Chains A and B, each alone.
Chain A
Amino acid sequence: MTEDLGNEQAVVRLTAVRKEYGESVALDGVSLEIHAGEAVAVMGPSGSGKSTLLSMVAGLDRPTSGAVVVHGDDLGSLNEKGLALFRRRRIGMIFQFFNLLDDLSALDNVALAAQLTGTSAAHARKRALELFEELGIGDRRNTYPAQLSGGERQRVAVARALMNRPAILLADEPTGALDTRAGEQVMDLLLDLNQIGQTLLLVTHDQQLATRCASRVIDFVDGQIAGERSLERTS
């Protein structure tokens, strides 16, 4: 079920989500809401369940129990294909190691996301080019991933994530593999995106990133929400 959501409604709603991997419990009864336009950072030590939370929201994995509703879609009711279509329409993801296809040019990497929805190659490339210009990497469109700097690769990954105008942008340690300068550029980019209304969910170890980009920080320990705080952005 999909519904049009205003800014006051929850884009993401987790209810008593539990995820077990064999004997170990990655998420233990997590409930939370993220509203449209929010920028939420999830922080915590390694193994605390941050990335598992992100996988649940992205529909990359299924909870052992509990419910995950994103933009009105109850992910528990979707089959594999339904989850793929959900990710296509609702989710944009960026990763610590960018995950670009080495054999495709930067432009084709970004256009790919739209082409999967059936958009023609010409239209997809046109839209990708617009994003390249907006993100300041227009001159790098025909370059291949191996020839890009880390910061440029992450910008290409952000462009790909935005290609289908997602309801929420999920970022998993987006500055973790970048040097300080490139990391700051990516932080600025995410902040800009949030300021124009893009909902953000960040998973990070980086206190500076959280402080700078997020309006709310959720602390995870041992698969549970240990605390939650609202922040005044520093920028």
Chain B
Amino acid sequence: MSAVWPVSRAAVRRRRVQTVVIGVVVLLSTTMIVVALGLLAASSGPFDQAYARQSGAHLVASYDPSKVSDSQLTKSASAAKAYSGPFAMATLGQGLNGNFGAPESLVTVGRADPGGPVDRLNVWKGRWAAKAGEIVLNRNPTASEGFGAPTLGSTMRLAGQTLTIVGFAYSVSQSADAWVAPAQMTSLKPTATQMLYRFAQAATNEQVSAGQTAVTSGLPSGALVGTQSYLGLRALATGEPNTFVPFLMVFGWLGLAVAVLIVANVVSGAVVSGFKHIGVLKSLGFTPTQVMAVYLTMISIPAIVGCAGGTVLGNVLAESLLTRAFENYGAEGVTVPIWVDVVVVLGVPVLVALSALLPSLRARSLSAAEAISAGSAPRAGRGLRVQRWLSGTRLPRSVSLGLGLPFARPARTALTLAAVVLGVTSVTLAVGLGKSLTTYQTAASRVDAVDVSLFAPPDNGGPAPNDPQAPPAPKLSDAADEALIRSTPGAVSVTASTDLPMRLAGTSTDLRVSFYRGDFEQLGYRILDGRWFDGPGQVVVSERFLRQRGLAVGDTITLQSEGKTVRAQIVGKAMYNSGDEVLSNWQTLALVAPSLRASLYEINVKPGTDLDAFVQAVQKGDSGLMRTDGQDAGTFVAIVLATVVLLTLMLGTVAALGVFNTVILNTRERRRDLGMLKSIGMTPAQVTVMVVTSMAALGALGGVLGIPLGIIAHRLVVPAMANGAQVAIPAFMLDVYPWSLLTLLILAGILIAAAGAYFPARSAAHTTIAKVLHNE
């Protein structure tokens, strides 16, 4: 075999373009496979991965310290696989200095450090609370900070004490809202003791209950005051990642299919165009097995290099995407499972070798003389009827010749067409997915629904008004502010609103109820079912709210706040994302908090109105009103869209490289024909047109075939994503393919094909043909 390596190496050097094409296609395909498999693997259990990373608590339990001692809790906890605690805990009312937007009460726990056997907290900003006077808040790293959210270094008042925020941490277990040093906790007068458990078996409610029984069995009656199972959190948390799964699966399979097609096409083409080379080797005395070894080695060199590079690149990209996608679990560096790397590193070269093996066997069976003469002897033409028909058409001859070229190599054409079809399918799905998501998110988040939002900060008993850091406060009454805004030139509609934390009776879920008055129908909410409220005791909710609670439009719910209760009928279902937000009207607010003023005014103005001038005019009347940003589309859709765009670009590039390779093979095989055509007067432009036409025709056909597949995929993926995200999908989310877009999508197929064909076509058009014609 000593002769095999130098010959293989020389063959690689001699066939640089094809070597590079194989290497690049394998690299991109491998990257895509690693990303797709990595995401698929991770998407199947991102919550579990994050939970495992933080060693999250399967059960968070609160005990009454007056009934059970810490030593009793520690002793009984030995029944669990692992535990953290006991930690002193208190639910404390708070006031913030210079900040808004934090919850009114905080479940605060005293912990010496963020680590431990259970619930290892991710301190993603600042540091842990080391001494008295310091506090760390639980916040999701990706959560929108919003206006007035607490910042690092600011202070807050908790149970009459001023604490400095020294860090932000995230607990997937949601074990607390805030943490302080144990010494600080003592002065905050703890009312409960927290224990965090992990059990050996915790996959079902029954197993978690069994674990709970085991760790509480020897404790005094009434010691356990509350528990939180991780299965409940899991159900809530996986809603968003589950949205990823359907489209990732489709893109993953598309990527695999395109990669297989391209590799098969590249390798088959390389072997076919290498027949002559094989014949020469045989004539020199290489055995058939040695010839095959030369050929497989020649193909395997770029394949292995591409595979290695693709695996590394895929890991980097997948890790980046996974970290972005799932950082809402506070988990850093979610990685591609090792089995994905192993499967890809072993599988892709084997796939390439298998693709090369069949055509190699074909070459192996040829005699040396046959192999040497392959390509120079005339061969029986293919697609003759089509060629004859095209010859007689009125099309320019360069175009009709180009249209006939795909029929000369039907198998290669079929592989190339399949790659283009899958490329167009990907683009169609991606465009539809992008439109559906953007449409949904725009509608659900009401982006650009209002022109101006003015914030009226509530009076929260903060510092003195002369404090330079004191927030502004409205100078006029609520009614006067609304009248002021309505009378400001340019105002068309004004909606006043305020939020009130409430609780759904019979549950432990906190809700944010937004009460509206004025022109709330102009706020951009889409009513999907039922109607807007028109009287007291009426609410409008989201699909997610209904699904999570098993409710329907027409049902009545009971809302509680500060000891007051109001029964409200669900009169409509609106399109928005939150499952914890309820919309209601000012008449309903009057039943629970009649003295509350509006904290937000959302205004639409006449077209052409200068918004800055409008705001200035309002602030002349009340300088305490602050302009605030409107709704944004959120990061989740941006992540999904970025993923979709990335995968589509990769698939499109690989499909175009498939075309590129086909054109290179075709033009090499037909270099004599091209030389002859130039010798009888075909201009370089006509050669380019002919070659590009041959692939553009495939692109158009690929578009026609790929678009329906893409639309079908879209029809399957979007409802599955909506189901995962627990949102309703109105018809407009699926009807995203107008005829104008379909026409453009056909152009996408042509574009992929033309992009892949153009450069080799130009190269062929400008090749010096004298040698080709004379040396055969």
* A interface residues, Cβ below 8 angstroms from B: 51-52, 54-55, 58, 60-61, 80-81, 84-89, 91, 93, 95-97, 99-105, 108, 111-113, 115-117, 120-122, 125, 144-146, 153, 160-161, 164, 172
Contact = CB atoms under 8 A, between A and B. Distances in A.
Given A55-B774, A121-B394, A146-B378, A104 B682 contact: no
B675 interface: yes
A146 B380 CA distance: 6
B376, B394, B682 — most chain A CB neighbours (10 Å): B682
A87 B681 contact: yes
B678 A60 contact: yes
Interface of B: 376, 378-384, 387-388, 391-394, 397-398, 401, 404, 407-408, 672-673, 675-686, 766, 768-770, 773-774, 776
Contacts of B388: 104-105, 108
A80 B764 CA distance: 13
B409 to A, nearest CB: 10
B405 to A, nearest CB: 8
Given A81-B684, A121-B393, A172-B774, A99 B675 contact: yes
Given A145-B378, A146-B379, A172-B773, A81 B394 contact: no
Given A93-B680, A104-B391, A99 B378 contact: no
6 contacts: A89-B681, A103-B387, A105-B388, A112-B391, A115-B391, A116-B681
Contacts of A160: 680
A174 B588 CA distance: 100
A81 B683 contact: yes
Nearest to A172: B774
A104 B684 contact: no
Given A97-B776, A104-B387, A121-B391, A55 B770 contact: yes
Contacts of B379: 102, 146
B768 to A, nearest CB: 6
A125 B392 CA distance: 9
Given A60-B768, A81-B685, A89-B681, A101 B391 contact: no
Contact of A84 (B383, B672, B681): B681
Given A89-B681, A103-B384, 13 more contacts: A61-B768, A80-B683, A99-B676, A103-B382, A103-B407, A105-B387, A108-B388, A112-B401, A116-B680, A116-B682, A144-B381, A146-B380, A153-B378
A58 B679 contact: yes
B682 A52 contact: no
A172 B676 CA distance: 13
A120 B690 CA distance: 18
Nearest to B776: A97
Nearest to A107: B391
Nearest to A55: B770
B397 A102 contact: no
Contact of B769 (A60, A100, A115): A60
Contacts of B766: 80
B397 A112 contact: yes
B393 A103 contact: no
Given A80-B684, A102-B381, A103-B407, A87 B394 contact: no
Contacts of B393: 121
Nearest to A118: B396
B389 to A, nearest CB: 10
Contact of B381 (A61, A97, A104, A172): A104
A122 B378 CA distance: 27
Nearest to A173: B774
A60 to B, nearest CB: 4
Contacts of A101: 673, 676
Chain B contact residues: helix, strand, loop or mixed: helix
A123 to B, nearest CB: 12
A164 B683 CA distance: 16
Contacts of B672: 97, 99
Contacts of B380: 102, 144, 146
Contacts of A115: 391, 397
Nearest to B680: A113
Nearest to A119: B397
Given A81-B685, A116-B397, A87 B774 contact: no
B680 A95 contact: no
Nearest to A54: B774
A73 to B, nearest CB: 13
Nearest first, the 3 A-B pairs at minimum CB distance are A88-B681, A55-B770, A84-B683
Contacts of B682: 84, 116
Contacts of A89: 681
Nearest to A177: B776
B774 A51 contact: yes
Contacts of A81: 683-685
A122 B394 CA distance: 9
B769 to A, nearest CB: 6
B382, B680, B685 — most chain A CB neighbours (10 Å): B680
Nearest to B684: A80
Given A96-B776, A103-B387, A88 B408 contact: no
B684 A93 contact: no
A54, A84, A100, A120 — most chain B CB neighbours (10 Å): A84
A97 B672 CA distance: 10
A204 B445 CA distance: 81
A161 to B, nearest CB: 8
A87 B679 contact: yes
A116 B686 contact: yes
A114 B462 CA distance: 92
Contacts of B376: 97
A65 B774 CA distance: 22
Contacts of A93: 679-680, 773
Contacts of A145: 378, 381
Nearest to B687: A84
A165 to B, nearest CB: 13
Contacts of A120: 394
Contacts of B382: 103
A42 B776 CA distance: 19
Contact of A103 (B397, B404, B776): B404
A113 to B, nearest CB: 5
Contact of A111 (B391, B673, B685, B769): B391
A108 B383 CA distance: 14
Given A60-B678, A108-B387, A108-B391, A103 B774 contact: no
Contacts of A52: 770
A91 B773 CA distance: 15
A88, A102, A161, A164 — most chain B CB neighbours (10 Å): A102
A115, A125, A161 — most chain B CB neighbours (10 Å): A115
Contacts of B401: 112
Nearest to A112: B397
B678 A84 contact: yes
B770 A61 contact: yes
Contacts of A61: 768, 770
A103 B381 contact: yes
Nearest to B387: A103
A55 B683 CA distance: 16
A115 B682 CA distance: 10
A144 B678 CA distance: 21
A91 to B, nearest CB: 8
Contacts of A172: 773-774
A121 B769 CA distance: 27
A81 B434 CA distance: 45
A60 B770 contact: yes
A113 B404 CA distance: 17
B383 A103 contact: yes
